[in-house]
Amino acid sequence: MFVPFIGDLTLLNVLVLVVGLVILWVIVSIPVYIAGKIVTGGESTLGDAMGATLFGPTIYTATLLAMNLLLGSVVGSEGYIWALVLAFIAWVWVFKASFHTGWLSALSIAVLAILVFVVISLLFGALLGVMVPAPFFPRF
């Protein structure tokens, strides 16, 4: 039987997928961890960062979909812009709750994590010739 989207679903394939996702989760958490350490004065942990990177996108997506559905039916196409703003605020709230900080510190962690990610990506690109994600950065 041919299943084009799932492929050969074996226990080994599922295990490789799960291990790969966990490794990716840790890698994505590193810039957030560094930003949290800087903003909180060294009080944040890798666990805080991993919680933020696990629940942040989940809360963002749920808020975006729910608010777009609700606001889209009330105010029309402008509802999506409001849904984006509310979803971003929800994501910053996850950072606030994960790092036990105020709103401004949580926003600082989010912005600084993006900057740290860009710097790390550029360093990897310069040293190894690998860009993550490649389309967003110029080639050297």
In order along its 140 residues, the chain shows pLDDT tens digits of 454 556 677 888 888 889 999 998 998 999 999 999 999 999 999 999 999 999 999 999 999 999 989 988 888 888 889 999 999 999 999 999 999 999 999 999 999 998 998 888 888 778 887 665 555 555 55
- Flag whether 67 is in a domain: yes
- Flag whether 86 is in a domain: yes
Separation CA 140–CA 120 (nearest Å): 15
- Flag whether 95 is in a domain: yes
- Say if residues 106 and 96 touch (Cβ distance below 8 Å): yes
Count: domains in the chain: 1
